[in-house]
Each structure stands twice: as C-alpha cells, then as structure tokens.
Structure 1
Amino acid sequence: MKIVIIGSGNVAYHLAKAFTQGGIPVAQIFGRNEKDLKVISNELQIPFSTSEIADADFYIIAVKDDSIADVSKLITKTNCLVAHTSGSLEKEKLNGNYRKACFYPLQTFSKTKDLVYSEIPFFLEAENEADFNLMNSIAQKISKKVLNSNFEQRKYIHLTAVFACNFTNHLFAKAKEISDSQEIPFEYFLPLIKETVDKIYKIEPKLAQTGPAFRGDEKIIESHEKLIKDKDAKAIYKTMNISIKDMYKNEL
C-alpha cells in the first residue's frame, strides 16, 4: 500500500514520524512549504514534493481546517482513500470523487516536542467497513487507543479538547505574563501545575477544585481583581470565577 501525507505542519510531521517508527512506509510528503518539507524529508528519509502529488492508495490530508476543502481538490485519482485529520469537520468536506474518511489523532502537536505515539488516541471514520479496517490496521501499529467515531462524536471530542488543552495553555501563558511582570520565575509554578494535572488522573476534575471562588472568598477575589491591569486577563479571571461559583453553588 502506498501512503502520501499532505502537509508540512505539526500534525503532518508527527504522523510521518509515527508511521516511520511504526514500520509503515510513507511514499511521499506533499505540501507548499519547501523549507519545512525538506526538514521532515531529511529527518525521516521520506521523499517530498511541492509540485506533484505521488500516486497512492491512501492520502492523509494534515493541513489547517480552512484549507482542507481546497487541498482535497488536488487529488484527482478516483480509486483511492482520502482522509483528513480534523476533529471538527465531516469527511464530506473532502472535495473529490474518491472514498472519504477521517483519521483524527487527539493530541496537541509541536515539532520540537517528542511524543509517545502509542498513548495518542486515534478516532476513525470511513464510508465502508473495508476502509475503516484498513485505517484501523494502520492506526493499531501506532497507538494502543483506536476508536470508531462519527462526526457528531468528533465535534464534542474536539470541543472537549479545546477546553482541556487550548484554553488551559492560554491560562498558563496569561499566568506567566503575571509572574513575569513581578520578575518571579515561572518555573516556580511548575510543581503546582504538575500536581494539578496529576490529580485528575486519580480523582474527577470537579472533585479536585480548590481556590478562592470555590471557597467563596470574596475579599481575596476582589483584591486579585485590583491587581490585574490587563483587561483580557481581568475578564478571564471574572468569567472563570463566575463559572466556578455556578458549578458549586449548591455545594458551598
């Protein structure tokens, strides 16, 4: 089977790396960014192109969501399987006369951060059982966590991921801005962050909540609001406190 990965960003890089480590040959990486493609090609010894997509049986489109529909038009072959890696788009967003699918890895990807691919969940959807089984056999060589998932489920999976990952990381960035403003090394907060994350492996997040809003300590909340100068940070602080109070209003 010939596999082509389309894209040169974080997801494309890690999929190519995971496939290589899992003994799954990748015939080509195709994309527009020649510089990034060269880096991936040199590291993983996979041919690349910016001009012509190689003939393949299975194409994986790993580009940003807004580009998937347009990029999918570049595949003119009909007797093939094409999957995107988005958690928020239906497989029908793919524009072509080929079999459509979704090959969605649930993880935050950065090229500079190594990952344990066997721990990454993969959510798959295909038009028929044979294509699902094909993708499942590939995913099983990479990960221990592979599930069948329709578009309706994936929408909520991605929404959950945004709350758990993207929003949380933004809060880390905002927290660092505050610590930096007082010349307090952010590394001093890393044990607190680690303990916060470690706890939810053992108890439900709702049961792990602490802090002034959870305790109903209005004086502390008021004093914090006076310290915050950045309007976005203040809005986040107020919104989060309201949400915490609402979640525990019958328990305080």
Structure 2
Amino acid sequence: MQIVIIGSGNVAYHLAKAFTQNSIPLAQVFGRNVDDLNKISQEFHVPFSTDILENADLYIICVNDGSVEDVSRLITKKDCLVAHTSGSLPKEILSGKYRKSSLYPLQTFSKSKELDYSKIPFFIETENKEDKNLLFKLASQISENVIESSHEKRKYIHLTAVFACNFVNHLFSRAKEISDGQEIPFNYFLPLIDETVKKIHEIEPRSAQTGPAVRNDIKVLQLHEQLLTDESLEIYKTMNHSIKKMYEL
C-alpha cells in the first residue's frame, strides 16, 4: 500500500517516525516547508516534495485544522482513502470524491520529545467496514490501543484533552513565571508535578485534590491573591472558584 503524509509539523514528523520504526513504508511526505520536509526526509529516508503529490492508496493529512479542507482539495485521485488527524473536525470536511476518514492520535507532540507510540490511543472513523479494517490494521502496527469513534464522541475526546493537557501545561508556564520572578529554580517543583500526575493513575482526580481551596483556607487564599497581578490573579481566582464549587465549599 502506497502511503503519503501531507504536512511537516509535529504530528507529521511523529507519524513518519512511528511508521518507519514499525517498518511501514512511506511513499512521500508532502508540504510547503522545505526545511521541515527535508529534516523528515533525511531522518527517516522518505522522499519529499513541495509541488508534486505522489500517487497513493492512503493520504494522511497532518496540518492545522484551519488548513485541512484546503489541503484536501490537492488530492484529485478518486480511488483512494484520505484521513485527517484532527480531533475536532468531521471526516466530511475533506473535500474530494475519494473515501473519507479520520485517524486521530490522542497525544501531545513535540519534535524534540521521544514518545512510546505503542501507548498512544488512535481513534478511527471511516465510511465503510473495509476502510475501517484497513486503518485498524495500519494503526495496530503502531499502537496497542486503536478505537473506533464517531465524530460526536471524538469532539469530546479532544475537548477533554485540551483540559487535561493544554490547560495544565499553560498552568505550568504561569507557575514558572512566578518562580522565575522570585529566582526560584522551577526544577524544585518537578517532583511535585510528577507525583500529581502519577497519583491520578491510582486515584480519581476528584479524590486526589488538595490545596487551600479544597480546605477553604481563606487566609492562605487571600495571601496568594495579594501576591498576584493581571492574568495570573484572574486564573487563580477562577481555578479556586471552580474547586470550591466542585466540592460545594
């Protein structure tokens, strides 16, 4: 089966890496960024192009959500399967007379960070059973966790991921701003962060909650508010309000 990855960002890079590590040949990586495409090509020994799209049986579109529809128009072949990797878009966003699908890997991707691809859940949606079996077989060569999911369910999977990953990472960034401002090394907090994440593997997040808000420690909350300004103060108030409401304090 001829497979082409369209895109050169974090998802495209890691899918190319996951495929080649599992001896799944790629016919081409295609996109606009010559430097990024060349890096993928050199590292994984895959041909690349910025202008001529290789003939393929499966095209996997790994671009930002706002570009998926436009990029999908570049594929003019009818007898092929096209999959996007978005968590939020329906497969119908793909604009062509080919067979449409989605292949959503639930993970945060950075090119500099090694990943265990076998642990990443892949959520699949297709138009027919044959294509479902094809994507299941393909994704199962990479991951131990391949699941069929409708777009309606996948929207909520993606929303949950934003809360569990993107928002949490933003709080790490805000926390580092505070520690940097007081010349406190952020690595002091890494054992705490590691234990917080480790704990929810064993305890429900609701049961694992600690801190001044869940104790309704007014004096500490007021002290912290005096130390903060601007966006961090608003985040602090909003988060504590949410915690109090969850525990009805």
Instruction: Give the number of aligned pairs.
Output: 249
2:5 partner SS: strand
Equivalence for 2:194: 194
Deviations 1:194-252 (A, max 9, x none): 000000000000000000000000111011001002x1111110000000000001xx5
Equivalence for 1:176: 176
TM-score in terms of structure 1 length? 0.98
Alpha-carbon distance in 1 for matches of 2:93, 2:232:
36
Alpha-carbon distance in 1 for matches of 2:36, 2:24:
21
Q: Shift in Å at residue 23 of structure 1?
A: 1.0
Q: Shift in Å at residue 14 of structure 1?
A: 0.2
Equivalence for 2:138: 138
TM alignment of 1:1-252, pairs within 5 A: 1-229=1-229, 231-249=230-248
Deviations 1:80-103 (A, max 9, x none): 000000010000000001000000
1:29 partner SS: strand
Alpha-carbon distance in 1 for matches of 2:57, 2:40:
21
Alpha-carbon distance in 2 for matches of 1:81, 1:131:
8
- Residue type matched to 2:236 in 1? Y
- Residue type matched to 1:248 in 2? Y
Alpha-carbon distance in 1 for matches of 2:53, 2:17:
19
Structure 1 residue ranges, 4+ long, deviating more than 3 angstroms after superposition? none
Alpha-carbon distance in 2 for matches of 1:23, 1:35:
24
Q: Shift in Å at residue 135 of structure 1?
A: 0.4
1:79 partner SS: coil
2:4 partner SS: strand
2:188 partner SS: helix
TM-score in terms of structure 2 length? 0.99
1:168 partner SS: helix
Q: Shift in Å at residue 172 of structure 1?
A: 0.1
- Residue type matched to 1:178 in 2? I
Alpha-carbon distance in 2 for matches of 1:149, 1:79:
24
Q: Shift in Å at residue 124 of structure 1?
A: 0.2
- The runs of 5 or more residues in structure 2 that have no matched partner are none
Q: Over aligned residue pairs, what C-alpha RMSD do you find?
A: 0.5
Alpha-carbon distance in 2 for matches of 1:32, 1:109:
20
- Residue type matched to 1:24 in 2? I
